[in-house]
């Protein structure tokens, strides 16, 4: 595509934003930070570095990188950190409070990411005038990238992930995105790297460890005497957790629960819905399967063997994993992307997941190949795997130790990005 074609594409893109902005003003979720998103309330102070973290998850990744940034000169390193969501903004406020409070030569300024209208982004980039812009994960905004190109701002895309579906969407207009390509891309896997290389050119891409591993602590299994749920589950009873199960997999999860309670009738099953407002659905499902159940909030004393506990209280999944002999992690029997199976693993429990766990593909297929986690092809396969783990439960401390080693071997992403940022800033 010729540059005239790129210019035309950006004009059309800008027109689409002009038409969309009045409608976006009606969106309640966008009212938080509206004046910053539109620049109606002014603009932030100039900064040496602009880091964009789309939402809460990326904001935590930004926090990890910022903790490792070390200014090399006498002057304070000014950092603008932006996000698109309220959760992300609140996370960045906490990050700024921690890092600015250390007085370590960094000045962190949180801000909402402006709407990507080329005119707004042009004004914002000229005002901030950064030496380097860092995009975390997959934030490919044409307005932002074109403004950076126009002002000769180098762009680093870090902790990069790209799905096949996303690549297909970008490839519908490859000339535009190649013209706006980041200067350097740090992808979290060879597969992601190849996809970025297809879109932007392989010479720009390198592979890095995923920063998410840096966020995982080294805490081991919780001792039973310290577990706040220790009085609910009698020691020795087989306690199995179905963690973060989703409405869309209700039929298969119910069959899995019924099969497990029939095959191992002394089991206590803790069923944790991913969304609490679907609790009535799970009540009806347990009734339909003829299973005895009790609400966690109504449980007085120890659970009786052969009971399903419908967990209707928040914040107790991790301590529950600390008591479990086996665990199935939901969101994985239907094509929903899966839920976090590292939580039971670091608690010393071998997790069983269904075949759909692409949201956690960053963990690496090696976690299945090594036997640390079990991938089941469907609910029947999951049932057989849970029965084997109940009958021959691996020692909790050995499982947790192997999980910690797996995580430690894959850390270093935040340090790699911080070093790349430092090298880029020191080029000036």
What is the per-residue pLDDT across 299-314, written as a single tens digit (0 to 9) for each? 989 999 999 999 999 9
> What average pLDDT is seen over the chain?
94
Query: What is the average pLDDT across 219-234?
Result: 89
Phi, psi values for residue 300, rounded to 5° = -110, 115
pLDDT digits (tens, 9 = 90+) for 168-195: 999 988 888 999 999 999 999 999 999 9
Give the per-residue pLDDT at 173: 84
The percentage of residues in the chain with a pLDDT greater than 90, rounded to a whole number, is 87
Beta carbons within 8 Å of 415's beta carbon, 6+ residues apart: 68, 214
Query: What is the average pLDDT across 392-410?
Result: 95
Angle at 113 between CA 29 and CA 86, to 5 degrees: 35
Instruction: State the Cα–Cα distance between residues 14 and 142, nearest whole angstrom.
Output: 10
Give the per-residue pLDDT at 220: 77
Give the per-residue pLDDT at 69: 95
Look at residue 328 and give its three-state secondary structure.
strand
Task: Name the CA dihedral angle for 216, 219, 225, 226, rounded to a multiple of 10 degrees.
Answer: -60
- The answer to whether residue 228 scores a pLDDT higher than 80 is yes
- The answer to whether residue 198 scores a pLDDT higher than 80 is yes
Query: What is the average pLDDT across 40-46?
Result: 95
Give the residue among 163, 159, 162, 153 at the shortest CA–CA distance from 62: 159
Q: What is the pTM of this model?
A: 0.85
With cut-offs at 50, 70 and 90, classify the pLDDT of residue 2: very low
pLDDT digits (tens, 9 = 90+) for 208-224: 999 999 988 777 788 89
- The answer to whether residue 354 scores a pLDDT higher than 90 is yes
Instruction: State the Cα–Cα distance between residues 121 and 69, nearest whole angstrom.
Output: 26
Query: What is the average pLDDT across 135-148?
Result: 94
With cut-offs at 50, 70 and 90, classify the pLDDT of residue 407: very high
Give the per-residue pLDDT at 1: 42
Strands 132-136 and 374-375: unpaired
Query: What is the average pLDDT across 336-341?
Result: 94
CB 324 within 8 A of CB 241: yes
- The answer to whether residue 253 scores a pLDDT higher than 50 is yes
Query: Other CB atoms closer than 10 Å to residue 23's CB: what's the count?
Result: 8
């Amino acid at each position: 595509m010729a540059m005239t074609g790129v210019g035309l594409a950006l004009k059309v893109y800008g027109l689409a934003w002009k038409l969309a902005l009045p409608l976006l003003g009606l969106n309640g979720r966008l009212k938080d930070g509206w004046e910053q998103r539109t620049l109606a309330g002014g603009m932030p102070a100039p900064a040496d570095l602009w880091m964009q973290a789309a939402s809460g998850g990326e904001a935590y990744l930004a926090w990890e990188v910022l903790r490792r940034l070390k200014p090399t000169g006498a002057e304070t390193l000014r950092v603008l950190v932006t996000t698109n969501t309220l959760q992300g903004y609140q996370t960045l406020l906490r990050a700024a409070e921690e890092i600015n409070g250390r007085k370590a030569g960094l000045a962190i300024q949180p801000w909402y990411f402006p709407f990507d209208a080329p005119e707004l982004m042009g004004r914002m980039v000229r005002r901030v005038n950064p030496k380097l812009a860092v995009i975390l994960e997959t934030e490919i905004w044409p307005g932002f990238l074109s403004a950076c190109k126009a002002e000769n701002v180098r762009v680093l895309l870090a902790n990069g992930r790209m799905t096949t579906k996303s690549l297909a969407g970008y490839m519908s207009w490859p000339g535009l995105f190649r013209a706006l390509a980041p200067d350097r891309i740090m992808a979290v896997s060879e597969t992601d790297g190849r996809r970025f290389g297809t879109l932007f050119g392989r010479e720009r891409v390198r592979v890095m460890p995923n920063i998410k591993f840096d966020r995982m602590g080294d805490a081991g299994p919780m001792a039973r005497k310290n577990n706040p749920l220790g009085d609910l589950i009698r020691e020795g009873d087989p306690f199995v957790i179905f963690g973060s199960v989703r409405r869309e997999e209700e039929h298969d999860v119910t069959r899995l629960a019924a099969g497990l309670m029939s095959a191992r009738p002394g089991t206590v099953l803790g069923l944790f819905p991913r969304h609490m407002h679907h609790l009535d659905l799970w009540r009806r499902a347990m009734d339909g399967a003829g299973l005895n159940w009790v609400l966690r909030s109504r449980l007085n004393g120890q659970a009786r063997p052969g009971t399903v506990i419908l967990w209707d209280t928040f914040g107790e999944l991790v301590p529950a994993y600390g008591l479990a002999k086996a665990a199935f992690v939901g969101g994985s029997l239907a094509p929903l992307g899966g839920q976090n199976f590292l939580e039971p693993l670091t608690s010393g429990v071998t997790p069983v997941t269904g075949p759909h766990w692409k949201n956690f593909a960053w963990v690496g297929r090696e976690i299945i190949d090594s036997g640390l986690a079990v991938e089941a092809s469907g609910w029947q396969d999951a049932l057989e795997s849970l029965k084997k783990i109940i009958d021959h439960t691996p020692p909790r401390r050995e499982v947790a130790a192997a999980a910690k080693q797996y995580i430690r071997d894959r850390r270093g992403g935040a340090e790699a990005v911080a070093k790349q940022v430092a090298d880029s800033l020191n080029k000036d």
